[in-house]
Structure 1
Amino acid sequence: MNLLFICSRNKLRSPTGEAVFGSYANIEVRSAGISNDAQVPLGTEDIDWADIIFVMEQSHKNKLAKKFRKQLNGQRVVCLGIPDVYKYMDPELIEIFEREVPRYL
């Protein structure tokens, strides 16, 4: 299963999601940012690769739908509702990922 985590700039939340689930068996993980200035910008190849796309906020889901409408061929897009208030690998952020993401796997 291929999981894609998306936030704005791919600096804090989505890389944390990638790190948390990167060691899970039978799961491949990537992270990217939806903003133009993201460290790892989201590309069409990421969308095509993903089985499930996790976005942090509703605004990310809206931008994703607008920018990649043609590439979103019925893929599951899940909004986790995680605000931009956490540092990379923040224990509370890790706890949220570990609690919420497995529901969709």
Structure 2
Amino acid sequence: MTNILFVCTGNTCRSPMAQAIMQHRSEWNVQSAGIFAGEGADASQGTKEVLHAKGIPFLHQSQPVTDSLLEWADLVLTMTQNHRDLLKQQYQAATNKIYALKEYIDPDYEQAWTELKEAYAQLEDQKLVGKEMQADVIRKINKLEKKVQNVDISDPFGGNIMTYQKTYEELDNYLAQLVKKMENENR
């Protein structure tokens, strides 16, 4: 059975919402934690309201990311690229299992990174003849950068219920894709 750890900043909004949705959708072992989380805080009111409205039961107490949680996890999915990068810096032994959620789901993400590195190398080699060819490579770089930078799940903290609803819908969409991906990998 797969152990999944969702990580956000304070472990009161996005990661507990992701945990609740995933527990509702699957049989996998799921936990959540926060990079700057305190111990034992409840989920935010907006998170609780949205989950309740969707009929997803959930009790939550925040917890910080720890070595033992990362050892427990087979897969660590963060809500932003900054969360991913901080974890990879602090827990270098776990880097091979830490991803931003959207990055992990999107099969084109890895390809976009490869193409972006190649385009930068091409630009740096300055083997491009003519301004038109350089402009084409720069347009390609701009397009690819947008693709690889768009991996953050929106943070509803401090927002109204509509903001939490929007984050729920975003997470629900990506977690449905995650379930499909993991079911296909486990066949």
Identity score, percent = 25
For residues 86 and 166 of structure 2, the distance between their equivalents in structure 1, rounded to whole angstroms, comes to: 25
Aligned to 2:3: 2
Residue matched to 1:66: 89
Counterpart CA distance in 1 for 2:64 and 2:165 is: 18
Following TM superposition, by how much is the alpha carbon of 1:28 offset from its aligned partner in structure 2, in angstroms? 0.3
Between the aligned partners of 1:95 and 1:16, the Cα distance in structure 2 is 9
Using the alignment, how far apart are the partners of 2:167 and 2:96 within structure 1? 32
Q: Looking at both structures, which has the greater relative contact order when contacts are Cα pairs under 8 Å and sequence separation is at least 6?
A: 1
What secondary structure does 2:89 align onto? helix
The structure 2 residue matched to 1:82, chosen from 153, 170, 183, is: 153
Total equivalences in the alignment = 102
Q: Distance in 1 between matches of 2:179 and 2:99?
A: 12
Q: Which moved more, 1:82-91 or 1:33-42?
A: 82-91
More helix by share: 2
More strand by share: 1
> Structure 1 34/14 Cα, relative in aligned 2: closer, same or farther at 3 Å?
same
Deviation readout 1:32-74 (Å, 9 max, x if unpaired): 001154731011111001111110101001110111113x163
Give the partner amino acid of 2:178.
Answer: V
CA offset at residue 96 of structure 1?
Answer: 2.8
Q: State how far apart, in whole Å, the 2-side matches of 1:29 and 1:88 are.
A: 21
Of stretches 91-100 and 58-67 in structure 1, the one that deviates more from structure 2 is: 91-100
TM-score (norm 1): 0.80
Taking the aligned partners of 1:78 and 1:103, their CA distance within structure 2 comes to 17
Question: Which residues of structure 2 form unaligned runs of 5+?
Answer: 40-61, 103-151, 157-162, 183-187
**Contact 2:7 2:77 (8 Å CA) reproduced:** yes
Change (3 A) 1:78 1:103: farther
Q: Which has the larger radius of gyration?
A: 2
Find the counterpart in structure 1 of residue 139 from structure 2. none
**Ranges in structure 1 where 5+ consecutive residues have no aligned partner:** none
Do the aligned residues in 2 keep the contact of 1:11 with 1:88 (CA within 8 Å)?
no
- How does the TM-score come out when normalised to structure 2? 0.48
Kept in 2: contact 1:7–1:57 (CA 8 A): yes
